[in-house]
């Protein structure tokens, strides 16, 4: 569904007795509705509007999914923000760096622990063992 353009409030559209009130309110209401309209018209970006960061790490796992190498990364934080507790990690891209034709067998799931701004990866499911992968991780706080 395409959103119809919103109708702005104009003082002249109202009876004279309400025009001063409408004039005072219209600036705030019109600006707010314009921002909402723009946001709902495919102008929301994930990085600007959600408390998250995107990080890359090169990893290799053993047969149990335990990290052999590349086990941590620093949370990319937005300026002037404090590090929040990380709720979860979502793998959004996986690139095989070993070029051996092995690919994830499913959506990788990561178990981790957090210490301040450092995320330490503990296990990753669905990655073939002994193969280096560059994974792009959405860090959700």
Mean pLDDT of all residues in the chain?
86
- pLDDT, tens digit (0-9, with 9 covering 90-100), for 55-82: 899 999 988 889 987 788 888 666 666 7
From CA 115, how far away is CA 104, in angstroms rounded?
Answer: 28
Strand ranges, E, within 51-117: 52-61, 67-69, 72-74, 88-96, 110-115
DSSP state letters, 101-125: S---SS---EEEEEETTEEEEEEES
From CA 68, how far away is CA 132, in angstroms rounded?
Answer: 10
Collect the ranges in the chain with pLDDT lower than 70.
1, 76-81
Report yes or no on whether pTM surpasses 0.85: no
């Amino acid at each position: 569904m395409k959103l119809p353009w919103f109708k702005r409030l104009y003082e002249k559209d109202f009876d004279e007795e309400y025009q001063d009130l409408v004039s005072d309110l219209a600036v705030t209401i019109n600006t707010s509705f314009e921002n909402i309209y723009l946001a709902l018209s495919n102008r929301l970006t994930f990085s600007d509007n959600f408390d998250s960061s995107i990080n890359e790490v090169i990893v290799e796992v053993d047969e149990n999914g335990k990290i052999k190498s590349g086990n941590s990364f620093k949370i990319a934080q937005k300026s002037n923000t404090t590090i929040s507790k990380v709720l979860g990690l979502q793998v959004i891209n996986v690139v095989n760096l070993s070029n051996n034709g092995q690919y994830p067998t499913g959506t990788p799931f990561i178990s981790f622990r957090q210490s301040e701004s450092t995320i330490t990866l503990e296990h990753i499911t669905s990655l073939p063992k002994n193969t280096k992968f560059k994974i792009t991780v959405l860090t959700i706080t």
